[in-house]
Amino acid sequence: MDASALLSRLVSRLKGRSYEIDPRIDARYLGVVTLERAMMKLRGFYRFPLHANRPFVGRGVGLRARHLLRCGPGVTLGDHSRVDAMSDKGVTLGAGTSLGRNSRIECIGNLRFLGVGFTAGDNVGLGTDCLYGAAGGITIGDDTIIGNFVSMHSEGHNYDDPDVPIRDQGVSHQGIRIGRGCWIGSKATVLDGVTLGDGSIVAAGAVLTAGAYPANGIYGGVPARLLKSRDPGEGTGTAG
């Protein structure tokens, strides 16, 4: 049995589902990847000695309020990612979920307000170089994939009084809810008050403003609108 087939069997067993590695990837490359994953697991044992499900921990990972971070089996924290879990509900990462390289989960906006927290379901891909501002609460359903450089902001600044600096008018929180099986493209922005239905697709660079976006829609633009429905027989329309 060659290296790719052997590793495919091992990864499939760890993930609990079929995972086939391209046989064209040479054994030396696979060896380097396997060594890196082994080092990440060793860091997990060191950084989370009392956790039943120790994550794979990359280089330079920053953690605050580690006691409020809960991980399912097979969680990965990518190189130089950062998690500040100080919040009412903390941070929960479901089984097989990965936080990409250089990405940040920040649950507390400032010391005047204890944030709500962040929850991602099972097998969620939180891409590289992303920001998840979870002061108002962010929930992401199972099997959702999020592209690189995506930002989510579950907090808004109040600005009604023109005679008072915006920074002194406080903030509001509605929360962000992302459904199951969604795909959010690179550089998309999700603002406070968004509810994105199951199975939806958000185009690269789109801006989702507060509102409900029905399931199985394809959304794009600034602000985002419905471009197409994935449901058979459905046409186009608007959303938000």
Which are the catalytic amino acids? 157
**Helices and strands, counts by H and E, the chain:** 2, 25
- Give the alpha-carbon dihedral of 34, 39, 40, 44, to 10 degrees: 140
Tokens, residue 26: 């040479």
Amino acid (1-letter code) at residue 196? L
Distance separating alpha carbons of residues 157 and 140, to the nearest angstrom: 23
Largest CA distance in the chain: 73
Full DSSP string of 81-102: -EEE--SSS-EEE-TT-EEPTT
Full DSSP string of 129-161: T-EEE-TT-EEE-TT-EE-TT-EEE--EE----
